[in-house]
């Protein structure tokens, strides 16, 4: 079976990755999605299939280099081409450097930087084999925190992502492989998994929801929808980021959207919102 396009999306079991996968599938792209939870990936698969899309899903630790490389290779071998690679997986472990366990730095480096590099390298290698020298498009999801690399260690890892995107852009200048770096600001997604549960609990209470928030657990879709509905001037939605991805991909081949910085209006104005 021939597919219009093929895409690989990491971190696609929820939030931004899920929204990107669904948007691409709606346009007829066969999506290969990965994340840590097979159960959550199966839910995303069902959503995509209900929309008439085609999808393959596999759960594994993004830090496993061989598995990530094989997953990307599999997408190309099964469909004959790889057109889009979305490096979306990321982790934000909050805390001051002087107070955090060095293992948290390793996790952020391995997921935010190394996995992105491995995914980009593997995608470039198979995109070079695409029929008719069609090339492809790599989308890296960085963060608005990259604009403030001194804020915390997470911001520093995303600042390096931006630098790596610049390096790859230079390396690929003479090839038909485009690269876009997208930096979202605050998004109503599972940012709460690594935040102080008391902060998220307070926000849920203000929104009239009687729920128990535990550190490390995914926030419910209902809570995320309420956050965005009540605070849309502060938080973007995952769909906002997916729309940006689709816009970048829709540009003609002689146009490269090298960098996009997205944030809600009041965040952009430098307002301080605490809850």
Would you say residue 18 has pLDDT above 60?
Answer: yes
pLDDT at site 218 = 57
Domains of the chain from N-terminus onward: 5-188+236-266 (3.40.50.720), 191-230 (no CATH)
pLDDT at site 94 = 81
Query: pTM here?
Result: 0.84
Could you give the CA distance from residue 84 to residue 77 in angstroms, rounded to a whole number? 14
Closest CA to 143 of 186, 203, 99, 100: 186
Cβ-count burial of 222 within 10 angstroms (0-12 exposed, 13-18 middle, 19+ buried)? Answer: exposed
Is 154 known to be catalytic?
yes
Closest CA to 24 of 35, 12, 41: 12
Catalytically annotated residue among 3, 32, 154, 247: 154
Could you give the CA distance from residue 145 to residue 165 in angstroms, rounded to a whole number? 16
pLDDT at site 269 = 43
Over residues 230-240, the mean pLDDT reads 72
Could you give the CA distance from residue 10 to residue 176 in angstroms, rounded to a whole number? 22
User: pLDDT tens, 99-145?
Assistant: 999 999 999 999 999 999 999 999 999 999 999 999 999 999 999 88
User: pLDDT tens, 54-85?
Assistant: 999 999 999 999 999 999 999 999 999 999 99
pLDDT at site 3 = 59
């Amino acid at each position: 079976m021939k597919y219009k396009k093929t895409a690989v999306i990491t971190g696609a079991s929820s939030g931004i990755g899920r929204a990107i996968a669904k948007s691409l599938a709606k346009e007829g792209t066969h999506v290969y999605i990965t994340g840590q939870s097979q159960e959550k990936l199966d839910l995303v698969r069902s959503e995509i299939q209900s929309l008439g899309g085609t999808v393959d899903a596999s759960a594994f630790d993004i830090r496993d280099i061989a598995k990530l490389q094989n997953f990307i290779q599999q997408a190309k071998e099964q469909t004959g081409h790889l057109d889009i690679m979305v490096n979306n997986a990321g982790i934000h472990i909050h805390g001051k450097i002087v107070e955090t366990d060095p293992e948290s730095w390793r996790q952020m480096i391995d997921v935010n930087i190394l996995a992105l590099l491995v995914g980009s390298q593997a995608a470039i290698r198979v995109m070079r084999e695409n029929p008719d020298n069609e090339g492809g498009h790599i989308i890296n999801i960085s963060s608005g925190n990259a604009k403030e690399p001194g804020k915390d260690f997470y911001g520093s890892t995303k600042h390096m992502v931006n630098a790596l995107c610049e390096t790859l852009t230079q390396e690929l200048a003479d090839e038909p492989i485009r690269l876009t770096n997208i930096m979202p600001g605050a998004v109503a997604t599972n940012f709460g998994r690594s935040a102080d549960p008391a902060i998220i609990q307070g926000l849920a209470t203000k929104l009239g929801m009687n729920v128990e928030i535990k550190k490390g657990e995914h926030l419910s879709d209902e809570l995320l929808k309420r956050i965005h509905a009540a605070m849309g001037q502060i938080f973007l939605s995952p769909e906002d980021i997916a729309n940006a991805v689709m816009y970048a991909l829709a540009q003609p081949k002689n146009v490269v959207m090298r960098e996009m910085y997205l944030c809600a209006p009041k965040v952009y104005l430098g307002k301080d919102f605490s809850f």
